[in-house]
Chains A and B, each alone.
Chain A
Amino acid sequence: MRKLLYIYIISLLFLAGLPELASGSEADTIHINEVEIVRSSPVHFAPVISADMDTISMNLMAGRSLSELLSFQPAVHIKSAGRGALSTASFRGTDASHTKVYWNGIRMNSPMLGQVDFSLVPVWIVDELSLLYGGSSLKEGSGALGGAVMLEASVDWNKRLGVSLNQEIASFNTLGTYGRLSMGDDKIKSETRVYRNRSENNYPYLNTDIIPRQEQRLDQAAYARVGVLQEIYIRPGKKHEVSVRLWYQEAERDLPPLMSQEGASRVEKQEDQNLRTSLEWKLYPGFGTVLVRSGYAGSRMHYFLHHNSLEYSQFDSRSQENSLYNTIQADVRGGSRTRFQFRTDLNRHDAGIRDLVLDEGYSHLRNEGSLVASAHREFGKRWILYALLRQEWADGKWLPSMPSAGFSYRLFKSNSYHLRGNLSRNYNLPSLNDLYWIPGGNPELRPENSINGDLSVEFSHKMDRFVFKGSLNGFAARVEDWILWKPTRFRYWEAENLATVFSRGMDIQLGSEISLGEWLLTLKASYAYTRSTNEEAVSSNDFSRGKQLIYIPVHASNAYTNLTWKGYFLNWSYTYTGRRYTQPSSEEYDFTESLNPFALNDLHLGKTLNIGRSKAGFRFTVYNLFNVSYQAIRSRPMPMRNYALTLRIAICEHVQLYRH
């Protein structure tokens, strides 16, 4: 026991120097129903460098959006314009458009914007979330120069019926209702999820951008979201699996002005409608696995800015995107130690935007295709090597080849220490706005390209009542032809391949779990160090060379402890975001040009009762416990201390709900 304690203390001291922890799911020792993770390929087989979001965080954030959940991953920086407002994610010091998001294999990035608004993706529709770093994402798709976020559903074939309902009441007149119904047998399953979430979102803040400084409530920030996800899984025989998914969401939100705004009264609104569907057929012939998938993603967005007092609409723009995604993928066994994977994708995007006030807009049709081949081979008992080649074309033009190679090496005979490495080249197509926006879109843009290198050590120790695991990841990426918008002599902005960025750093993730009788203590902590610098100066008086990119913190960390006892639980979560510069010359002395670091603490406590096969529970949360005033984007206030109460009932056990 002394030794165990010793290891434990050492590990925590280590953690002190460099505060996250990886993947929780494996580390947990709570017995839950077995979950089959539907993944397109066996991740364990490839030297993929990834992190899984742990179930505890997933559960705590079930009624929240992905932007809030991902803020627990310091390697990903969330840039949020406020609670419920536009939030983008950048991996390891790259741009938000270098983060690709796949929902059960269907890309979610807007073809027009190139990025994803994470505030519009509810955690409720996700069962498994993992992050693929750097080149590890090339198998799924191109363009994730920073990394990819994989959102997956999981099916529990053993369960016949499950109903669960979460009701959340929170500060600022926030109400959320989340329901899930699972039905079926071992041949066919239906999973239905519905959610509705709305908030007046009028949180108080100190307005330091007007004279005199004053306490104000955020005005015009209300939001409402409603959605349904229907999944059907069919398993007609042992060799086939068919899944059908349909996800529809409507979101409406008011967009608050900057803190400094004292102009004419205004109404600024954004309405989003999204439909995503997919049909997937998996078959298991003798040689391996074949996957055939088709998906459609459609979005409608309406944005307007109206000045009531002047009866004047400044903007009234409508955009629509219709995308088709088609994939055929074959995993082929070449003997007991070798595997090949072949994949082809054919995608089509038909997108356009028109502003009724300006009578401006564009529309464009883009066809994309790709061919991917990869091979994995085990050598001896310790080595796995892999190589991948990706060929892609868009709008009739071939992109340069995207190769990737990597290895996985078992450091000791035991299975629990792995060294993984990976080197790759990646290309990111310019978004349709970058190419065709009027004015300023530039059809001559080249794709952004990167060389990514990753090295990672992963370990896990399991003892009687103790689990300790972690990973140390180092990375380096050089991105060239980075697209930026700059003003032209016509005074509008134009997209250009301008920057070269060198991003490097490391992150460490540690976690441990101790169970003592009825007590279970989980502790996780992580720290990320990211240096992402501009490598080329435009002119001799450009002071940005070698300086950190704007809005990328050098230091970020988080930690949580979670204690459970007889259905009670207590969770303390902490996130720290370091200083962020708001101009590329990173001027320390220029006190108006950087955002101060902030540390946020959330406290959750709750209780779950078992009543026969049903469960009921509650959770009370204090967000921003120490009432910290902070900004993630300059001049955009964030909420101070606020509260949420969640009541939960479930008939029949449901895997995702009842970890606590």
Chain B
Amino acid sequence: MRTCPTLPSLIVAVLIASCERQPVDLGDAGNKFGRGVFVVNEGQFLAANASVSFFDPETDSVHNHIFYQANQVPLGDVAHSMSIWKDDAYIVVNNSGKVYRANRYDMEFKGKLTGLLSPRFIIHMGSGQNSKAYVSDLYSGWLTITDPEKGTVLDSIDLRGSDERFSSEQMILHNGKLYVACWSYGRQIMVIDTETDLIIDSIEVGKQPNSMVVDKFGYLWVLSGGGYPFSPFGQENASLARVNLESHDVETMKIWDDIRVSPTDLCINHRGDSLYFIGEGVYRVSLDMKGFDKALIPENGRQIYSLGVDPEDGTVYIGDAVDYQQNGWVYRFSSGGTAIDSFRVGINPGYFCFSPARQQ
């Protein structure tokens, strides 16, 4: 049989071609996460490569892929935000339609809320039997109210108008009211009474409100990006509005001169007296609206994708997406804009979730 040499030779060929290195496990699992910051790495849309990193400022150490390390399952597609409630971390995985609940100290999976359309943020309130969480959604037109620990849906708030379907984005709880920014093709801040879960008011701000904070005097600051060129919703100049939370009136508004400017990621420092946001670089603005003229932290070739300010010491964290495809970077600056250090995280670091020290 002359066929004999054929098969073995081919197998050899195949084996030689198959010799490639296997990936190496970092062995980070089991690390405990206390005081520090979780970096939510969005990953790429439809690439299912979102991840969570943790940075410990005391030891100056960073741990990447901590959700995967703890659970051996990737986080999913487009992780958008995260919040900490009691001993748990809630990670909103936008394009996987779910919110994961994990132990905040070791990231071990504890439960999940599934069946969502396009969840963006989760915010918790109450205690014991009365605790609940609101989940905002980009497309559904509903705000979901959930039992945070059971992962069950308690109720939903209809945000659909007669001819509109309001998206819900960032949320803030203040004095028993929930303020919900309607970012996508919207210009409202919905006001919800958390006792009754009814919409009691809506505040009109600039187009596409993307982020909000409450300052030390109890004013709500809303940053609106203004939309984008050729948007069917139209584009207008970006604006920063100060809202009186007693009267729900917009009292002051800064409107940018250049329509090409679309600021995002409004943050506030630990003292509640300085606003930070991303424009072309990172700006710091005082409550009397000074500081728009020059960036505190220039872009310097970075693709600034996210911003966070440590609520305990005011340290500024900047996420750099590099090329939006590879692992990104986080840069740390003092509240005055002096560079501290930087570390590498996952793809498209898009959200900072600050974690307080473990309560004894």
Which residues of A lie under 8 Å from residue B200 when comparing CB positions?
none
- 14 A-B pairs with CB atoms under 8 Å apart are A12-B10, A18-B13, A19-B10, A211-B71, A260-B76, A260-B93, A260-B96, A262-B96, A262-B115, A263-B114, A439-B228, A516-B2, A563-B3, A597-B18
Which residues of B lie under 8 Å from residue A5 when comparing CB positions?
2
Which residue of chain A has the shortest Cβ distance to B227 in the bound complex?
Answer: A490
Does A264 sit within 8 A of B, measured CB to CB?
A: yes
Is B165 a contact of A634 with CB atoms below 8 Å? no
Which residues of B lie under 8 Å from residue A263 when comparing CB positions?
95-98, 114-118
Q: Which of B137-152 contact A (CB under 8 A)?
A: 139-142
A residues in contact (CB < 8 Å) with B: 5, 8-9, 12-13, 15-19, 208-211, 213, 258-265, 307, 309-310, 312, 314, 358-360, 438-439, 486-492, 514, 516, 521, 523, 525, 527, 538-544, 550, 555, 557, 559, 561, 563, 574, 576, 578-579, 582-585, 587-594, 597, 599, 634-635
Bound CA–CA A65/B117 (angstroms): 34
Does B46 sit within 8 A of A, measured CB to CB?
A: yes
Which residues of B lie under 8 Å from residue A590 when comparing CB positions?
23, 65, 327
> What 18 additional pairs, Cβ within 8 angstroms, besides A490-B228, A523-B6, A591-B24?
A13-B9, A16-B9, A17-B13, A208-B74, A211-B109, A258-B77, A263-B95, A263-B115, A264-B115, A310-B142, A486-B324, A521-B3, A525-B13, A538-B322, A539-B301, A541-B342, A591-B25, A599-B18
Tell whether A597 pairs with B20 under 8 Å between CB atoms, given A543-B327, A590-B327: yes
Interface string of B311-345 (1 = CB under 8 A from A): 00000000011111111010000000000001000
* A213 CB to nearest chain B CB (Å): 7
Is B7 a contact of A588 with CB atoms below 8 Å? no
* B243 CB to nearest chain A CB (Å): 23
Which residue of chain B has the shortest Cβ distance to A5 in the bound complex?
Answer: B2
Is B10 a contact of A574 with CB atoms below 8 Å? yes
Which residue of chain A has the shortest Cβ distance to B329 in the bound complex?
Answer: A541
Is B326 a contact of A542 with CB atoms below 8 Å? yes
Which residues of B lie under 8 Å from residue A539 when comparing CB positions?
301-303, 322
Counting from the closest, the 8 A-B pairs by CB-CB distance are A263-B97, A635-B48, A591-B23, A260-B76, A490-B228, A585-B326, A12-B9, A262-B114
* B290 CB to nearest chain A CB (Å): 23
B47 in complex: contacting residue of A492, A538, A582, A584, CB < 8 Å = A582
Bound CA–CA A394/B230 (angstroms): 25
Q: Which of B142-193 contact A (CB under 8 A)?
A: 142, 165
B232 in complex: contacting residue of A359, A521, A555, A584, CB < 8 Å = A359
A634 in complex: contacting residue of B48, B71, B114, B329, CB < 8 Å = B48
Is A264 a contact of B323 with CB atoms below 8 Å? no
Does B49 sit within 8 A of A, measured CB to CB?
A: yes
Which residues of B lie under 8 Å from residue A593 when comparing CB positions?
49, 327
Is B322 a contact of A17 with CB atoms below 8 Å? no
Bound CA–CA A18/B10 (angstroms): 10
Is B96 a contact of A589 with CB atoms below 8 Å? no
* B305 CB to nearest chain A CB (Å): 8
B residues in contact (CB < 8 Å) with A: 2-3, 5-7, 9-10, 12-14, 16-18, 20-21, 23-26, 46-49, 51, 65, 68, 71-77, 93, 95-98, 100, 109, 112, 114-118, 139-142, 165, 225, 227-232, 261-262, 264, 280, 301-303, 305, 320-327, 329, 342, 347
Is A12 a contact of B73 with CB atoms below 8 Å? no
Tell whether A599 pairs with B14 under 8 Å between CB atoms, given A12-B5, A314-B139: yes
Is B140 a contact of A592 with CB atoms below 8 Å? no
Is A258 a contact of B232 with CB atoms below 8 Å? no
Bound CA–CA A542/B100 (angstroms): 31
Which residue of chain B has the shortest Cβ distance to A519 in the bound complex?
Answer: B3
Is B20 a contact of A555 with CB atoms below 8 Å? yes
Is A258 a contact of B96 with CB atoms below 8 Å? yes
Bound CA–CA A539/B47 (angstroms): 23
B68 in complex: contacting residue of A264, A265, A592, CB < 8 Å = A592
Which residues of A lie under 8 Å from residue B96 when comparing CB positions?
258, 260-263
Bound CA–CA A539/B9 (angstroms): 47
* A565 CB to nearest chain B CB (Å): 11
Bound CA–CA A371/B309 (angstroms): 60
Is B228 a contact of A579 with CB atoms below 8 Å? no
A490 in complex: contacting residue of B9, B10, B262, CB < 8 Å = B262
Is A260 a contact of B77 with CB atoms below 8 Å? yes
Is B47 a contact of A634 with CB atoms below 8 Å? yes
Is A210 a contact of B73 with CB atoms below 8 Å? yes
Which residues of B lie under 8 Å from residue A592 when comparing CB positions?
49, 51, 65, 68, 74
Bound CA–CA A634/B95 (angstroms): 15
* A569 CB to nearest chain B CB (Å): 14
* A503 CB to nearest chain B CB (Å): 18
Is A583 a contact of B228 with CB atoms below 8 Å? no
Bound CA–CA A582/B23 (angstroms): 13
Bound CA–CA A557/B98 (angstroms): 40
* A17 CB to nearest chain B CB (Å): 6
* B138 CB to nearest chain A CB (Å): 10
Bound CA–CA A213/B326 (angstroms): 27
Is A213 a contact of B73 with CB atoms below 8 Å? yes
* A606 CB to nearest chain B CB (Å): 19
Bound CA–CA A13/B16 (angstroms): 12
Is A576 a contact of B24 with CB atoms below 8 Å? no
Bound CA–CA A541/B303 (angstroms): 11
Which residues of B lie under 8 Å from residue A260 when comparing CB positions?
48, 74-77, 93, 96
Which residue of chain B has the shortest Cβ distance to A207 in the bound complex?
Answer: B73
Is B323 a contact of A538 with CB atoms below 8 Å? yes
* A29 CB to nearest chain B CB (Å): 16
Tell whether A576 pairs with B326 under 8 Å between CB atoms, given A312-B165, A588-B24, A634-B48: no
Bound CA–CA A583/B44 (angstroms): 10
Which residues of B lie under 8 Å from residue A540 when comparing CB positions?
301
Is B73 a contact of A211 with CB atoms below 8 Å? yes
Q: Which of B9, B49, B97 has the most CB of A within 10 A?
A: B9
Which residues of B lie under 8 Å from residue A314 when comparing CB positions?
117, 139
Q: Which of B13, B47, B109, B116 has the most CB of A within 10 A?
A: B13
Which residues of A lie under 8 Å from residue B323 when comparing CB positions?
486, 538, 542, 544, 584
Tell whether A264 pairs with B116 under 8 Å between CB atoms, given A490-B228, A523-B6: yes
Which residues of A lie under 8 Å from residue B68 when comparing CB positions?
592
Q: Which of A360, A541, A563 has the most CB of B within 10 A?
A: A541
Tell whether A264 pairs with B97 under 8 Å between CB atoms, given A208-B73, A209-B76, A486-B324: yes
Bound CA–CA A7/B2 (angstroms): 12
Bound CA–CA A264/B135 (angstroms): 14
* B147 CB to nearest chain A CB (Å): 18
Bound CA–CA A539/B342 (angstroms): 15
Is A312 a contact of B6 with CB atoms below 8 Å? no
Q: Which of A555, A582, A590 has the most CB of B within 10 A?
A: A590
Bound CA–CA A550/B47 (angstroms): 12
Which residue of chain A has the shortest Cβ distance to B300 in the bound complex?
Answer: A539
Is B14 a contact of A582 with CB atoms below 8 Å? no
Bound CA–CA A490/B231 (angstroms): 11
